[in-house]
Amino acid sequence: MYYIAEDGIEKCIETWKIIVPLHDNDNKEFPEELINSVRTKIANEFGGLTSIGVVGQWQSGTELFADRNIQIIVDVPIKDHKRTTDFFLNLKDELREELRQHKIYVTFENGASELLSVNEFLQELGFEINSDQLQSLTQDNMRKLIEQSDKVQTRSGYRTLSLTRDTVSGTLVWEREILGTKLCTNIEDNFPTEAVILSADKLEDYFKEDTFGKPLIVIGDYEYQSFILEKEKRRYVIGDPISFSKHNKGDREPLYGPHAWHGMLRTSEFIPIFVEQILINYIILRELGSQKERIIVNVGSDGSSQSVGNFRLLCPAVIPPKIVQQAIIDSFVKAKDIYEEGTIDKIALMQAKVMNRYNEKKALISGSQNLMGI
């Protein structure tokens, strides 16, 4: 998708175009909000678009007809071709039915390139880089980021090196590296003097008792995780809601509320999300030194507990049906196994960690004296 050019970095793209009519076959204009909804849907999917007015002409016998349309244009990375194709095929079907058209025209062209500066390249990868602060990357640095883009996208080899307050310039100086490539960003420091400044990837390492009661400023959450999660559709560590539909009871199905983040869920949604809560607690205990054989996981009508010795983590929920309890246990065992084997979906795991407050819980638990000896 990217390759190094003489004056920067070139990004291989393909251009997609769709023609959206502004009126029906009786020349009655479609509502403006309907046309705007099409633009919004495309912009939400690809992050932007170009929209221009075009007139199409066609002849029937001796009579010449004119159609007023808009042409929507988006530039898409070549690597996203499959996803983009699926999107426009579905959109064509939707618009044909909704606009009552015999045909909706979609075309694409490949072979184009966009020239990016180093800063633009880094910003596209989700790094928080000031446009006016040139990063001193060598060609070897850039080549490494391009060739190992899969690791960059999962933030493998990512770590904050230092985060300091420069009172003279009134900025935070944030230095970090990805795959050995060092980056630096200066952030305007308008934070309270008593605030505790932490980087998102080091939250659990530096969380101490003296931080309680003070303003807590977390730097780099978007760069470290949120950028990746915004680009990815929700994945599940094990299965997905559709695969658990056999447990649905239709209108008689109880609604579950695992915690406030998710609201009330049907069984097919509840099982994978609840399994993720249990798994994240299990992972925290493992990362804090617990042997897997010593971790006891129970699932009952009042939720689930993960315990080591006298220490216990809870996932509360009301789960009356035995069949749902067993489905949760079976799914957790599968999730635990793929985690221990190292074959777990990294993006799904990252999403599960964010949704279940992994950093916060690990930071709090690691400071607890109750964990001594686990």
Average pLDDT, the chain: 86
Q: Which of 334, 273, 332, 270 shows the shortest CA–CA distance to 299? A: 332
**Three-state SS for 64?**
strand
Beta partners for 51?
72
Q: How far is Cα 323 from Cα 267, in angstroms, rounded to an integer?
A: 11
Neighbouring-strand partners of residue 229:
none
Alpha-carbon dihedral 285, 291, 297, 303, rounded to 10 degrees:
-10
Over residues 92-114, mean pLDDT: 88
Tell me the three state secondary structure of residue 351. Answer: helix
Question: What is the tens place of the pLDDT at every residue in 266-278?
Answer: 888 889 999 999 9
Residue 251: is its pLDDT beyond 60? Answer: no
pLDDT cut 90: percent of the chain above it: 37
Q: Does pLDDT of 373 surpass 60?
A: no
With 70 as the cut, is the pLDDT of residue 46 above it? yes
Chain segment 287-314, per-residue pLDDT in tens: 888 999 999 999 998 889 998 887 888 8
Quick: pLDDT tens for 138-195: 888 888 998 998 888 888 889 999 999 999 999 999 999 999 999 999 999 999 988 8
Identify the pLDDT of residue 372.
44
Domains of the chain, CATH where assigned? 2-116 (3.30.70.120), 127-231 (no CATH), 241-371 (no CATH)
Cβ 12 vs Cβ 113: under 8 Å? yes
* Predicted pLDDT at 259: 57
Instruction: Report phi then psi at 240, rounded to 5.
Output: -160, 170
Q: Is the pLDDT of residue 249 over 80?
A: no
